Chain A
């Protein structure tokens, strides 16, 4: 036993000496309280989280660095009172001048966040490796990850029916098993990204779905403070059920503007229209190729009260925030940020134009006999505050006014839904 302790101590000292490191650690306490009334289509729930993190950091020559960071947490929710999780365990090495001055290679390995440029297709902590080749003006990034060791309550990898069936199944310990690959090349202004996920459920699954995505995205500067925000994604997939394979074609597109004005009380505004294909019963050229619902790897939350799946949807999202006291010497006042937003939702018009029937959408109280495309409007308002560096608060309320009754998209059972979300974050 003594020998084991001695070896552990020696290894620790060697690691410390090898890094000659700067170390830091801390505790974060986060609560998220979610109150709702009426019908809602979001998956939020109140949760309380305590996280312990530690980091070792070593700066190297020419701005390079070696960084090791880990975070474990305990999370409480009413549905799952005991969730102990490893949120983050990441080595990040930045090797400067790897190919000469003005270049670098960044290697990340372990458990860390993977995301696509829009965060609409992939946004998830995964176990994997990522290598980035960095140059002035652009970068090339390669990544591969496995999702099967992420705890089921922490995994948002939901693509097939089997994946969704396991969301609230407490007997399933880990999330869906997928191999996810990523190739990114470009800059902030224009980037081309290829993503793919391979279903590793094996023969026991009801359905095996593999999907591939090719995405063009960017936020180029138009004039001072004004940026174009665009993304265009084509997706191809293979769905196999009972040895029958269907080939899936789908798409996602977005076009909008972002505006920032530091001189106007740090104003931020954005307007973006996003479109995701719905099932259109047409068969393209070859048998078994179908235009269908867009399938993101990790379904995003696109609204506060009404957050339908990112498929068969066309929506406009507007938001504005500002810091009315940003020049004030008081940190408490300076870090107050009121914000308002609105989202207008429609179904994908193409299935209706092609067949005369609007495609189905997996939301509550949809009127099955209606072909109406307009679904409703969500309005939100809130305030974000950071009175101290170690304390942050956010209060956001919203209402979704559905287009309900008669021939409208929702049945008359669907009333106005309300949500109040309160987040408190503290660092110790």
Chain B
């Protein structure tokens, strides 16, 4: 009787542990064009990336002016634009949640976040000025401006103040500023201003982030 009870407890414990343990999933470079390099964790040298290669966690991907890479992360796809540095800090499955943490000091990515088997996604991209947390599926970001083309992205400034950016909207986080979105940002983003005055919101606020990251943001259309 005692042995049976112990066996049951062991089985239950194993089931619980199996349910909570992190299951690391893989990142694969499914497409590479132009100059794309990888810096593996703990190394200083950069290696040319090739399509089909697996990207280890905490590796950094760097693209040149003509570079572009597509990363397959489980069911999700991240397209890395030119002149971008992207580090994969975390990609794991825990309690039926796929947790993805990307760090992008500079550049632009476009993400289509999907899940399989009913798993939920906890997908965040930390840029120089903002963090985009994805509840939905599709967006692109350069760390300053985030365009959402499907569902909703929660966009946070470095101070942790957040807004929800919905499908069809753009969110904007200036340097030393707070996130904005909604109709005001759409008005600014879709329209053309004839005024060249910089003094409305502070000339420097759009370009000087309060971190150690680079300050050049290039908006690529892709």
Contact = CB atoms under 8 A, between A and B. Distances in A.
A21 to B, nearest CB: 9
A335 B161 contact: no
Interface stretch (A40-48, A241-249, A420-428): A420-428
Given A55-B199, A266-B189, A266-B191, 4 more contacts: A63-B210, A219-B182, A261-B168, A386-B193
Q: Would you list the 10 A-B pairs with minimal beta carbon distance, nearest first?
A: A65-B176, A63-B158, A59-B210, A96-B159, A392-B194, A394-B194, A266-B190, A427-B196, A102-B160, A57-B204
Contacts of A426: 196
A267 B192 contact: no
Interface string A232-260: 00000000000000000000000000101
Nearest to B162: A136
Interface string A220-234: 010011010100000
A77 interface: no
B67 interface: no
B205 interface: yes
Contacts of B202: 55, 57, 67, 69, 92
Contacts of B186: 225, 260, 262, 268
A191 interface: no
Nearest to B179: A136
Interface of B: 129, 147, 157-163, 166-170, 175-178, 181-184, 186-187, 189-200, 202-205, 208-211, 221
Given A64-B210, A67-B205, A224-B166, A260 B190 contact: yes
Contact of A104 (B159, B184, B191, B198): B159
Contacts of A225: 168, 186
Nearest to B215: A22
Interface residues of A, number: 71
A134 interface: yes
Contacts, number: 180
A337 B193 CA distance: 9
A323 to B, nearest CB: 7
Interface in A271-293: none
B152 to A, nearest CB: 11
Contact of A392 (B166, B195, B209, B210): B195
A134 B186 CA distance: 22
Interface string A49-68: 00101010101111111010
A65 B176 CA distance: 5
A275 to B, nearest CB: 21
24 contacts: A28-B196, A53-B199, A57-B176, A59-B209, A63-B177, A63-B210, A65-B210, A97-B160, A101-B159, A102-B159, A106-B178, A136-B161, A137-B163, A219-B184, A224-B168, A227-B183, A262-B189, A321-B191, A384-B192, A385-B192, A386-B194, A392-B196, A425-B197, A427-B197
A147 interface: no
A391 interface: yes
Interface string A389-417: 11111100000000000000000000000
A87 interface: yes
A216 interface: no
Interface in A169-213: 188-189
Given A94-B176, A188-B183, A268-B187, A337 B159 contact: no
Contacts of A81: none
Nearest to A388: B196
Nearest to A94: B176
A321 B189 CA distance: 13
B192 A425 contact: no
A88 B194 contact: no
A358 to B, nearest CB: 35
A88 B182 CA distance: 27
B168 A63 contact: no
A71 interface: yes
A359 to B, nearest CB: 33
Nearest to B168: A224
A67 B176 contact: yes
A427 B193 CA distance: 13
Given A28-B197, A63-B158, A67-B205, A337 B177 contact: no
A425 B159 contact: no
B216 to A, nearest CB: 14
A222 B190 CA distance: 19
A361 B181 CA distance: 39
A322 to B, nearest CB: 8
A30 B69 CA distance: 44
